[in-house]
Amino acid sequence: MLARNLTRIARLSRGFATHAPSTPLPAVLHLKTGQSFAGRSFGAPRSIWGETVFSTSITSYTESMTDPSYRGQILVFTTPLIGNYGVPENKTAVNDRDVGVVLESERIQCSAVVVADVAEKYSHYTAVESLSSWCARNGVPGITGVDTRAITTLLRDQGTTLGRVAVGADASLPKPTAEEYWNPTTENLVAQASTKAPYELNPTGDVKIAVLDFGAKANILRSLVRRGAAVTVLPWNFDFNKIRDQYDGLFLSNGPGDPNHCMEAALNLRRTMQEWDKPIFGICMGHQVIGMAAGLEAYRMTFGNRGHNQPVLALASSGSIKAGRVYVTSQNHQYALKLQDPFPAGWEPFFINCNDSSVEGIKSTPGSGKKVWGVQFHPESAGGPLDTIEMFTDFLAECRAHKLHINIPRSQPMSAAQVAPSLKRETPQRVAVAA
């Protein structure tokens, strides 16, 4: 009887949420426009500068915080309660299914987080620590107990704003002057987020894809290797033209900051597109680099689009994408390509945002002889909707078709089963790429 009762108590205790005590330090969020919001600190007890942005994502705070596109930013979550399901162990195998991490990178990428109510108790079967302890371990401060509705309203009205999170003794200091605020977009954040050396994933894949890493989310790489691709990840400014004949396709990833810092990559890509006829696909920053290489201009939006519920209208059909259909997408960007008339020769708009009419995608025209696509949103999401995930399937199907010198009817793209053959599990290998 005693053993039965002890077992029952043990089972009950595992059902309780795990307590994560908050740090009793004062904290203040200062905005360059003069507003201040007082609350209490959690995470790392340090003060930081950054660019204050908001996300409307309801779930996946761990994925958002590890997205390299948030580098240098103070991330305000509009969802009131953050941290209730904790943080998982961020390690996986590296093989034909996974790329070494569960989340979007190895560490937290944003500079700080702002939440209305941080969960002091968390509960999830994969959780190993609280949001607060995770932030503390990564040196990232957080502030809670502030009105994120008021902050979001300000950012919606006045646009993305430079800010400072002041913690502890710094919280009682006077507001910073306008000259003191640090603007992260003046720096080349892509160079900071990109890999410094080439490396391979799933080297036994049947189609070889080079990825220009502007700050790639792990799920982009995961989406490629799970569809059977052998992936070589290259630094953002690597001249792909030196090795392009070794590959069946080129992929340009997402990344943080101002795309105008990536003009070197855009000029290299312009030559690639002029001289190379294999498929090219870009997402987010990669989409903007493709646009600049094509002759379009990238501009800074007022507050950008960040969240998992952005509707986009397809203006053209390609593979699994059907013209006239609205797709719900996950997005995280401050810059966009300028819509112009006429469009550069050989190019056409692919998607447009249903809310603000910004350009959400471009593609080469059928008559151009090229197969190049760029989308501002994230087909791979994580978290978010998977309305457009088959764009990865479409891209790799085109790469395989080119490799095999066959034509695939655009109305009948290859299925996931056709493009994701069974592969042996392999460990990644560092590769030397000729200069």
Q: At what angle do helices 390-404 and 218-225 cross, to 10 degrees?
A: 50
Distance CA 65, CA 304 (A): 17
Considering just the CA atoms, what is the radius of gyration of the chain in Å? 23
328: left (phi over 0), alpha (psi -120 to 50) or beta: beta
Distance CA 110, CA 69 (A): 8
**Smallest Cα–Cα separation from 259: which of 189, 193, 201, 209?**
189
In this structure, are residues 311 and 353 in contact, taking their beta carbons and an 8 Å threshold? yes
Q: Cα dist. 342→104, 273, 379 in Å? A: 37, 20, 27
- Answer whether the bond into residue 139 is a cis peptide, omega within 30°: no
Catalytic residue among 51, 63, 104, 380: 380
Alpha helices in 113-212 (DSSP H): 131-137, 148-158, 189-193
Q: What is the DSSP letter of 215?
A: S
Separation of CA 380 from chain center: 9
For residue 74, the SS3 value is: strand
Q: Is 378 in the active site?
A: yes
Q: What are 111's two structure tokens?
A: 């500079």
Look up tokens 């941080």; give the residue: 118
Which residues neighbour 15 within 8 Å (Cβ) at sequence distance 6 or greater?
A: none
Q: Cα dist. 217→188, 195, 233, 280, 299 in Å? A: 18, 12, 12, 18, 23
Q: Is 380 in the active site?
A: yes
Instruction: Give the bridge partners for 143, in sequence order.
Output: 41, 114
Catalytic residue among 261, 287, 308, 378: 378
Distance CA 283, CA 361 (A): 9
Interstrand relation of 141-144 and 112-114 (parallel, antiparallel or unpaired): parallel
Which residues neighbour 4 within 8 Å (Cβ) at sequence distance 6 or greater?
A: none
Catalytic positions are 284, 378, 380
